[in-house]
Structure 1
Amino acid sequence: MPCWAGHYVPCHAGWVGPTVLLCIYGFCSMMRPIEPFVAVFLTGTYKNLTTEPDKVKTLILDCKKCYSSTMMLFFCIWAATGRCGFYQVSSYIQVLWVHIQPNNFTAYNGGVDAISTLSGAAASVAVGHVSLEWSVWGELVLGGFTLLIAGALFLMDLTSNIWISYTFYFLFKTIYMPLTTICTFQIAKKLNRRRYALVFGLNSFVGTVLQSVLTAVVINTKSVQLPITSQFITYASYFAAISLLFTVRGVYTVLHMKAARRRETTTCQRAHTCDEFV
């Protein structure tokens, strides 16, 4: 210890490194050398941002315009709610597997997760080659396959066999990834590129908020504190509710489209008959 004025003063050398880092961080954060250039870039016409005081009003108008299409609104709803359920299941699946097989040190949890991710990616690529009128059948497809997701989660929760649970998780992830790809494609197809960040960012934000609420209610609430098996029953019921909503909406869309096309065909036939009569 160094001596000063006859007294020993302790020297804590550990403070030097953190202090230097904090000083460098403070200097760089206050200097901001690229801020003028970034501001000009972000407020250009390509980014559709503005420095005017009414930018909140502009943002609200943009949101209203983007979500004015009912069909696109439903695809956005699935994107947000599906994201919430997917990340909730992915975050707690390891806890369920530990509950099913608590003392298995040779479990293939990571391998199953990796393989299911690859199969989901392959299914997402394959769905791009499916010839289907997604604007008509898309919502019904979402409803039907979301019901399969709900069923997989129910069975995953009820089984006591780790391999059966692995299989249903593989099915869950393989189905979810192409469905979210369909939603992303349908949303992007109906949007101007300048509004991609707005809509997809808002969908992600809504999904994250829903996930936080679901976590707070199902897991962190002191009065509830559901066990892991009850949590997965809740997630399965959550996807079942989404499936019901989109199945009903999908049936309505298909019937509405068919009726509209039938009227168009009848009108064209009448017009053709009139032309022949004249």
Structure 2
Amino acid sequence: MREFLKISLILSLLGFLKEMRFIEPFLTDYYSTNFENVTIEIINQEIFPVGTYSHVIQLLIVFLITDYLKYKPLVILLGVSSAIVWGLMMIVDGKFGLQIIEVFYGTFCACEIAYYAYIYTKIDKENYQIVTSHTRSAVLFGRFFSALSAQILVYYKVSDYRQLNLLTFIFQVFAAIWSIFLIPSVKTSIYFHRDEIEKQHKKLNAFKLIWEHFKMSYKNETVLLWSAFYAMSFCLYFQITAYIQVLWLTIDDNVIWNASVDGVLTLLSAFSMLIAGKVHIAYLQQRTPTILILILICIFKGVLLIFAATSSSLLLCYILYVTYGILYAFSITICAFKIAENITEDSHGLIFGFNTFIGLSIQTCLTITIVSNGFKLGPIGQYVTYGSLYLVLGSGYLIKLLMEMLKK
């Protein structure tokens, strides 16, 4: 087996294992029915926001130290923190306990940037597209398998929510063990561990080199264009998926099919990522068609979310959410390898980390102003706002395109 395929397989299996979180499709219902004095409003405004704040703070630290620690320790922390989250859920009680869990969940989410950036440190640039699609598809196939299993177990009353949580914990322990013993170490890195490439970078010190790569990357208009899309899409996707169960409970409290919806979404999203990795999109090599594609994607996503938020039918909301998720999976995969192929090799942790940090910073602002404080909008108002933000982003790209056309 070719070396890059071997590494891709190992990382893909880790991605699959870490997504074996069977309780997640029913998490909001589980919190509200199994923990003392925890209501839907408390979950929406006081528990889930802690995860957002924890994520953004820890991500700032993670993307600054990823290179220094040479990736693998943070991939291990990803597996260990996930096991801690689902282990704690079996022993804590009440709002404060759930907020502590959200802090560790923020650790898990922050370390995912090391997992996704790691692949670019071990393979050649010509294999970026295919390996990106492999690892991201494996993550989605994992979500599909766990969601389908959870749906079957709940529907046929084989397991209750607590048993689903125990099953989740077991698989997260497996993921932690896999990350410790099977993920290959990175011997060198571009900033702090440069034994083999010292001459290439003329003995620049680490922090100066970081700044040079940062400037070089964002001076590239293609990187800047796709990074803006990456940050905003990342922000809104995580905000939407974090609170979607609250919206579903608002429309209809009979949410027994949540896991099926997650399963369908992840399976179709995985296939869309594989397609994104296989199909060569010639238009993306040209600037004007690229901006047009971004405009259309943003507008379509915005319309989907607004219709989902204002729908009185849970089934229609499910369908619109799945369509949105498929489009996100396809577009973010293209976005990831378009950025990767236009930046300096080995600076992927820096650039993807910064893009993710910007996205999370925006998400934190949204959480403070829209959800937990500020306007304190209900689920419907929140999702209309998220859809509107996509329309604003699409309008921004449209204005930029018109300005470039006028200059010609």
Taking structure 1 as reference, are residues 70 and 191 closer, same or farther at Cα in structure 2, changes over 3 Å only? same
Candidates 270, 278, 297, aligned match of 1:121: 270
SS of corresponding position for 1:133: helix
- The aligned counterpart of 1:217 is 369
Q: CA deviation at 1:96?
A: 0.3
2:194 is aligned with what amino acid?
A: G
Q: Deviations over 1:88-135 (max 9, x none)?
A: 000010000000002x15x31121112112211211222341543203
**Contact map agreement 1:46 1:194 (CA 8 A) in 2:** no
Q: Deviations over 1:201-251 (max 9, x none)?
A: 111111111111111111111x42111111111111111111112233345
Q: Deviations over 1:41-89 (max 9, x none)?
A: 75225688x9x99644432222111111122101011101110000000
2:176 is equivalent to residue 176 of structure 1: no
> Following the alignment from structure 1 to structure 2, what is the Cα–Cα distance between the partners of residues 45 and 156?
53
- The aligned counterpart of 1:195 is 347
2:133 is equivalent to residue 133 of structure 1: no
2:226 is aligned with what amino acid?
A: F
1:133 is aligned with what amino acid?
A: Y
- Aligned alpha-carbon RMSD (Å): 2.7
2:319 is aligned with what amino acid?
A: T
2:367 is aligned with what amino acid?
A: T
**Contact map agreement 2:223 2:343 (CA 8 A) in 1:** no
Tell me whether 90-99 or 224-233 shows the greater mean CA deviation. Answer: 224-233
TM-score normalised by the chain length of structure 1: 0.70
> In percent, how many aligned pairs have the same letter?
23
> Following the alignment from structure 2 to structure 1, what is the Cα–Cα distance between the partners of residues 281 and 188?
43
Q: CA deviation at 1:194?
A: 1.8
Tell me, which stretches of 5 or more residues in structure 1 are unaligned?
1-36, 260-278
1:21-170 residue pairs with structure 2 within 5 A? 42-45=192-195, 55-102=206-253, 104=254, 107-127=256-276, 128-136=278-286, 137-170=289-322
SS of corresponding position for 1:67: helix
Q: Which has the larger radius of gyration?
A: 1
SS of corresponding position for 2:219: coil
1:81 is aligned with what amino acid?
A: M
Q: CA deviation at 1:139?
A: 2.2
> Following the alignment from structure 1 to structure 2, what is the Cα–Cα distance between the partners of residues 151 and 171?
11
2:353 is equivalent to residue 204 of structure 1: no
2:392 is aligned with what amino acid?
A: A
> Following the alignment from structure 1 to structure 2, what is the Cα–Cα distance between the partners of residues 256 and 67?
24
Q: Deviations over 1:247-271 (max 9, x none)?
A: 3334566x599x6xxxxxxxxxxxx
Taking structure 1 as reference, are residues 249 and 130 closer, same or farther at Cα in structure 2, changes over 3 Å only? farther
> Following the alignment from structure 2 to structure 1, what is the Cα–Cα distance between the partners of residues 359 and 205?
27
Tell me, which stretches of 5 or more residues in structure 2 are unaligned?
1-184
> Following the alignment from structure 1 to structure 2, what is the Cα–Cα distance between the partners of residues 185 and 230?
34
1:153 is aligned with what amino acid?
A: L
> Following the alignment from structure 1 to structure 2, what is the Cα–Cα distance between the partners of residues 174 and 47?
40
**Contact map agreement 1:96 1:229 (CA 8 A) in 2:** yes
- The aligned counterpart of 1:3 is none
**Contact map agreement 1:47 1:194 (CA 8 A) in 2:** no
Tell me whether 238-247 or 147-156 shows the greater mean CA deviation. Answer: 238-247
1:239-250 residue pairs with structure 2 within 5 A? 239-250=390-401
Taking structure 1 as reference, are residues 58 and 40 closer, same or farther at Cα in structure 2, changes over 3 Å only? closer
TM-score normalised by the chain length of structure 2: 0.49
4+ aligned runs moved over 6 Å, structure 1: 37-41
Aligned length: 216
1:134 is aligned with what amino acid?
A: L
Taking structure 1 as reference, are residues 210 and 245 closer, same or farther at Cα in structure 2, changes over 3 Å only? same
2:269 is aligned with what amino acid?
A: G
Taking structure 1 as reference, are residues 198 and 157 closer, same or farther at Cα in structure 2, changes over 3 Å only? same
> Following the alignment from structure 2 to structure 1, what is the Cα–Cα distance between the partners of residues 196 and 250?
51
> Following the alignment from structure 1 to structure 2, what is the Cα–Cα distance between the partners of residues 164 and 65?
45
